[in-house]
Amino acid sequence: MKLQLLKIVAFFIGHIPRFLLLPTGNLLGLVAYKFARRHKTTACENIRESFKEDGEQVSEEEVRIITLGVFINLALNFLEFMRLPWLKAKDLKGYVEIEGLEHLEEARSKGKGIIICTAHFGNWELLGATLGLIGFPLEVVVRNPDTPVFDNFVAWVRTSSGNRSIHKKNAMLRLMRALKGNGTLGILLDQNVTRREGVFINFFGRTACTNKGPALLAAASSSAVLPTFIIRDGLTHRIVISAPLKLVNTGDKEKDVIENTAIMTRPIEEIIRKYPEQWFWVHRRWKTHPDSPL
């Protein structure tokens, strides 16, 4: 019953006239910026620390502008997320432009699976939906449910475009099986993880604990790793699919995992530096330290 209620709410929000989305998103983003104080503080602190140049921080005005942009982007993401269950391939014309599709097609032709390496950037949910609708359904790793009703609702939205959810517990085996079947994985590689789950690499000049799973998967499967991002321009979007990354294979498994994780993360930092207001700065990305408990 609760799930059905969420679907009804999604239907009404998802059918707000398109011309109202931008002003509605701007208003919601401004309200969140004003009242979500804890997340606002986290975002501001992250931005200050990440954009130091020659020892000098960015101005407080620049921090404010970027942070407000973050909240507006997230508000627009929310509104667009509610539209995804009714999104069809024909609706993508004039809405989502795709660059580099040939990289995706070439990788699939090799039959070894594809790892889409992306981040909580732009409207990442729309990125996954678009790939599913154009014939590249994703296997997406999700956390085990904290609130079953809400998680089931999110899963319903995500799978409406043909994508499949894999719960984090025991995910590696299912992901390897998907790659062996020439499937496509969607990996978000920009969040903090525990020491047990990750390796430490440089991210915006600071040590960041980063999920080592994608590097392990790439090494075990020889799958192509394609940096892929969706860039917002108001209510239209541009997906950029880059050529496969050149990963290292020296025979030293531990060092290779660290280096390859760093290689996968560099395009993420590069795209964030270009469009800082489109990244998920409200996350405590640098929470885990080398002396944190396992």
Looking at residue 171, its pLDDT comes to: 86
Which H or E element spans position 154?
helix 148-159
**Alpha carbon 56 to chain centroid, angstroms:** 29
Burial class from Cβ neighbours inside 10 Å (0-12, 13-18, 19+) for residue 198 reads buried
Q: Report the chain's mean pLDDT, rounded to a whole number.
A: 94
Looking at residue 55, its pLDDT comes to: 66
- Higher pLDDT pick, 75 / 55: 75
Residue 224 covered by a domain: yes
- Which residues neighbour 224 within 8 Å (Cβ) at sequence distance 6 or greater? 107, 110, 112, 113, 114, 115, 244
Looking at residue 132, its pLDDT comes to: 97
Question: Domains in the chain: how many in total?
Answer: 1
Res 74 pLDDT > 80: yes
Residue 238 covered by a domain: yes
Beta bridge partners of 141: 166
Cβ distance 143 to 165 under 8 Å?
no
Which residue type is seen at 146? Answer: D
- Higher pLDDT pick, 36 / 52: 36
Question: Rounded distance, CA 209 to CA 118, Å?
Answer: 16
Write out the residue range of the structural domain in which residue 34 sits: 2-278
Residue 39 covered by a domain: yes
Question: Rounded distance, CA 257 to CA 263, Å?
Answer: 10
Looking at residue 266, its pLDDT comes to: 98
pLDDT digits (tens, 9 = 90+) for 4-24: 999 999 999 999 999 999 999
Residue 129 covered by a domain: yes
The pair phi, psi for residue 156, each rounded to 5°, is -60, -45
Residue 290 covered by a domain: no
- Which residues neighbour 57 within 8 Å (Cβ) at sequence distance 6 or greater? 48, 51
pLDDT digits (tens, 9 = 90+) for 23-45: 999 999 999 999 999 999 999 99
Res 127 pLDDT > 90: yes
Res 94 pLDDT > 90: yes
Res 294 pLDDT > 90: no
The pair phi, psi for residue 140, each rounded to 5°, is -115, 130
Res 214 pLDDT > 60: yes
Q: Which long-range contacts (CB under 8 A, 24 or more apart) does 7-10 make?
A: 7/85, 7/153, 7/156, 9/82, 10/82, 10/85, 10/153, 10/157
Question: Rounded distance, CA 69 to CA 89, Å?
Answer: 29
Res 67 pLDDT > 80: yes
Match 């070439």 to its residue by tokens. 106
Looking at residue 143, its pLDDT comes to: 72
When pLDDT is averaged across residues 185-209 and rounded to a whole number, the result is 96
Res 54 pLDDT > 60: no
Cβ distance 116 to 134 under 8 Å?
no
Residue 294 covered by a domain: no
Alpha carbon separation from 57 to 49, 53, 63 (Å, rounded): 7, 6, 10
Looking at residue 142, its pLDDT comes to: 79
Residue 284 covered by a domain: no
User: Percentage of the chain surpassing pLDDT 70?
Assistant: 98
Looking at residue 291, its pLDDT comes to: 87
Residue 293 covered by a domain: no
Burial class from Cβ neighbours inside 10 Å (0-12, 13-18, 19+) for residue 111 reads exposed
Q: What tokens were used for 96? A: 């989502």
